[in-house]
């Protein structure tokens, strides 16, 4: 691990990626981060499992959380990292460069460099974001040590191509089921075909027109889609069940109850079981802290604010009543790709914008 | 094994069932059958694998094959057999009583008793009917020793509740496929949902009106059904493929080429792959041998002739140019059931009808 305060943030990104930390195996990286941060007297360093928290105690009027997860999806022959040129621009290639060790490097670098930021800062580096929600390190911190996360605003360093993405859509999954009566397919008239009965479900999905919903000045695009369909138990049996799993991505202005009611209305007459439901997060761009952050980033990098479509951990801050945005280097559509790579100028731009904002006199 | 010539045919059925012979494990039963038949001088006994063939050489003008498979589907706690009373009638309960050791007992009993039948008879007891077609013992005999199966007519002892069921429908399976473009379900508008595209396939199936087709005086009911549907690779991915497996049961008057053309026409515009295709068998009830058999059975048992819907090995005889019918004790809808059981009067009725026909002076 290079010296945090003096290392180039791109070199630091490469060093972080080259310590593999697939979900569940973050200990070596968490140890390295904890040790590196402990060298700075302006930081109090805390640890829970493989999550490391470092915070200032400067008596500032406001506190911001800057957070990022340190785990990655499995390595697919895409380590160690290397520097390449793509379309004339320098990129850092390899697992984690986008999701999201570049964002972690930006935070570690500034945590070390900014001894007297204008806000008190809580830097959060957490584990197990890329696996089931129950293992999520940020959720564990919220359960074990909610006071560690207390803040007026949060910036999550998930990849946004160095733009600000506010809030996130909610997500609901439901099984929409048809029932029939089994029979041998040589005597199909004795049965009722549950797969045929699913035609109506698919027709409703095909004709569904998703809404675009404006929330706090950002337009969220919704979606309702089948992500799975299963029916049939043998090649000579008329099936008595067919299950269509649908995924509804809904604007953060809708409650989970409203989202569920909507899906039940769309599939009225069918057997609907909700299997997964998570609220979105309002972008909160009209909160004064967020507006100032947006203005500073825009002035520094030319970045604008848009909606985040995927569900991210900003929703956990939203649940805690803390306005939060996503802001980090890397194209989110390259997250988890074998060809994951991040433009190095985005890494530097994010670091510069955050540093500018955290040291602004009027903050 | 009781003495074939003197045992009661119901007791013989019970004895055959109590020698388990799940497909692939027929050797002990085949050995017992071979040994028992070898005791009769009027029979030449042949063997191929676990198939046993016994035939007369009386110089008769015509030869009939009487055939049955000796294997069963797996035993599900339904052995040993027992005699019960159901709705006031005596039944033999247990695995194989319907499918089809009662039919085998009828044949073994008559093979031993009828030293001078009016037809030359080839009695065929074969293995592995209840598994994939490539293992079928009758198919193997047709490949290894086609001369063993030479005949003017064939009676297959599959369960028909002691009625004559002529011929059988053909069967075709095809995968009907839609294609789309994968995307993350949070940004569904970047993809094309292949499951939604399957609505049209299911709608066509739902509105399909199967034909009823008269062949040689019997009416065959067709059917076109989905037996399986699969789509989706993860709960947050817009699927790029959906596969509906359809099963077309078609009247024996249609060729396999006609059946395939029909399915391709129904699903025009979709990607169709035929995965399984077997011709049906015409009932052949207008052939003189068959008509005489039908008349004799009707006079003996009051049984009438109807169509067979399921595909059976009569289609193999049909391929060899031999008219064939299904005729055996037991309700076919109880085949493979854990509660498999056969009325004992049907076992006796089938034996009596076959004996009457095989000893008729004008045969």
B181 at interface of A, judged by CB pairs closer than 8 A: no
For chain B, say whether A251 makes contact (Cβ under 8 Å).
Answer: no
Question: Does residue A234 or residue B49 have the better pLDDT?
Answer: B49
The nearest alpha carbon in chain A to B171 belongs to A186
Q: Was domain A170-278 assigned CATH 3.30.70.100?
A: no
| Closest residue in chain B to residue A188, using alpha carbons only | B223
Q: Chain B within 8 Å of A337 (Cβ-Cβ)?
A: no
The helix (run of H) or strand (run of E) holding residue B265 is helix B256-266
Are the CB atoms for B12 and B105 separated by under 8 Å? yes
Name residue A45's beta-bridge partners.
A54
**Best A73, A158, A168, A227 residue to mutate vs chain B (most B CBs within 10 Å):** A227
* C-alpha pair distances (Å), A340 with each of A14, A17, B185: 13, 12, 20
User: Are the C-beta atoms of residues A329 and A102 closer than 8 Å to each other?
Assistant: yes
At B184 the pLDDT is: 86
The answer to whether residue B152 is catalytic is: no
Residues of B in contact with A177 (CB under 8 A): none
Q: Which residue of B has its CA nearest to A200?
A: B199
B129 counts as catalytic: yes
Q: Is the pLDDT of residue B200 over 80?
A: yes
> Is A181 in the B-facing interface, judged by CB distances under 8 Å?
no
Query: For chain A, percent helix, then strand, then coil, each to nearest 5?
Result: 30, 30, 40
| Confidence grade of residue B363 (pLDDT, cut at 50, 70, 90) | very low
Where along chain A do the CATH 3.40.630.10 domains lie? 9-168+281-358
Q: Which residues does chain A have within 8 Å of residue B222's beta carbon, measured at their own beta carbons? A: none
Task: List the structure tokens of B249.
Answer: 């049961």
Would you say residue A290 has pLDDT above 90? Answer: no
- State whether B227 and A236 contact (CB < 8 Å): yes
Query: What pLDDT was estimated at residue A134?
Result: 87
Written out in words, the top-level CATH class of the domain with range B9-168+281-358 is alpha beta
Q: In the predicted model, what is the mean pLDDT of chain B?
A: 94
- Whether the per-residue pLDDT at A9 is higher than 80: the answer is yes
Residues B76-98, mean pLDDT to the nearest whole number: 96
Using an 8 Å CB-CB cutoff, list chain B residues near A228: 195, 231-232, 235, 239
Average pLDDT over residues A155-184: 93
Q: Point out the residues of A that are catalytic.
A: 71, 129
C-alpha torsion sign, points B251, B253, B257, B258: negative
Sorted by sequence, the CB contacts under 8 Å of residue B222 that are 6+ apart come out as B169, B210, B211, B212, B213, B248, B249, B250, B251
Token pair 């499951």 is found at B195
The closest of A159, A131, A157 to A26, measured between CA atoms, is A131
Q: What percent of chain B has pLDDT over 90?
A: 79
- Report, as an integer, the average pLDDT of A56-80: 95
The pLDDT value given to residue A183 = 86
Mean pLDDT throughout B68-75? 95
Of the candidates B26, B50, B127, B129, the residue annotated as catalytic is B129
B19: left (phi over 0), alpha (psi -120 to 50) or beta: beta
How confident is the prediction for chain A on average, in pLDDT? 94
Q: B60-93 burial by CB neighbour count: b if 16+ within 10 A, else e?
A: beebbbbbbbbbbbebeebbebeeeeeeeeebbb
User: What is the share, in percent, of chain A residues with pLDDT greater than 90?
Assistant: 79
* A 216-235 → B contacts, CB under 8 A: 221, 223, 225-232, 234-235
Instruction: List every span in chain A annotated with CATH 3.30.70.360.
Output: 170-278
**Is the pLDDT at A222 greater than 50, yes or no?**
yes
For the cut 50, the answer to whether the pLDDT of residue B172 exceeds it is yes
Question: Residue A5: pLDDT above 90?
Answer: yes
- CB-nearest partner of A247 from B202, B205, B236: B236
β-sheet with B44-48: strand ranges across: B44-48, B51-55, B120-126, B63-69, B153-156, B324-327, B164-166, B305-307
Report how far residue B257's alpha carbon sits from residue B272's, in angstroms, rounded to the nearest whole number: 14
């Amino acid at each position: 691990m290079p010296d945090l305060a003096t290392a180039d943030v791109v070199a630091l990104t490469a060093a972080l990626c080259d310590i593999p930390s697939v979900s569940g195996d973050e200990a070596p990286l968490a140890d390295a981060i904890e040790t590196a941060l402990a060298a700075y007297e302006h930081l109090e360093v805390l640890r829970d499992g493989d999550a490391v928290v470092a915070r200032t105690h400067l008596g500032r009027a406001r506190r911001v959380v800057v957070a990022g997860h340190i785990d990655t999806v499995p390595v697919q022959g895409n380590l160690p990292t290397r520097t390449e040129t793509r379309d004339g621009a320098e990129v850092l290639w390899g697992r984690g460069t986008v999701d999201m060790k570049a964002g972690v490097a930006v935070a570690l670098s500034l945590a070390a460099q900014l001894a007297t930021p204008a806000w008190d800062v809580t830097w959060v580096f957490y584990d197990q974001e890329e696996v089931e929600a129950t293992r999520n390190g940020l959720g564990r911190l919220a359960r074990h040590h909610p006071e560690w996360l207390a803040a007026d605003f949060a910036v999550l360093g998930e990849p946004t191509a160095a733009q600000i993405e506010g809030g996130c859509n909610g997500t609901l999954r439901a099984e929409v089921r048809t029932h029939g009566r089994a029979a041998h397919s040589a005597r199909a008239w004795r049965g009722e075909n549950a797969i045929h009965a699913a035609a109506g479900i698919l027709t409703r999905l095909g004709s569904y027109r998703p809404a675009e919903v404006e929330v706090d000045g950002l337009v969220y695009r919704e979606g309702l889609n089948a992500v799975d369909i299963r029916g049939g138990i043998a090649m000579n049996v008329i099936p008595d069940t067919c299950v269509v799993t649908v995924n509804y991505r809904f604007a953060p202005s809708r409650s989970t109850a409203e989202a569920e009611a909507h899906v039940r209305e769309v599939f009225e007459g069918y057997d609907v079981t909700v299997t997964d439901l998570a609220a979105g997060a309002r972008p909160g761009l009209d909160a004064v802290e967020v507006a100032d952050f947006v203005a500073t980033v825009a002035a520094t990098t030319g970045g604008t604010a848009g909606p985040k479509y995927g569900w991210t951990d900003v929703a956990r801050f939203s649940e805690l009543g803390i306005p939060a945005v996503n802001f980090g280097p890397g194209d989110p559509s390259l997250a988890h790709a074998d060809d994951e790579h991040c433009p190095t100028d985005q890494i530097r731009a994010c670091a510069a914008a955050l540093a500018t904002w955290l040291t602004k006199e009027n903050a």
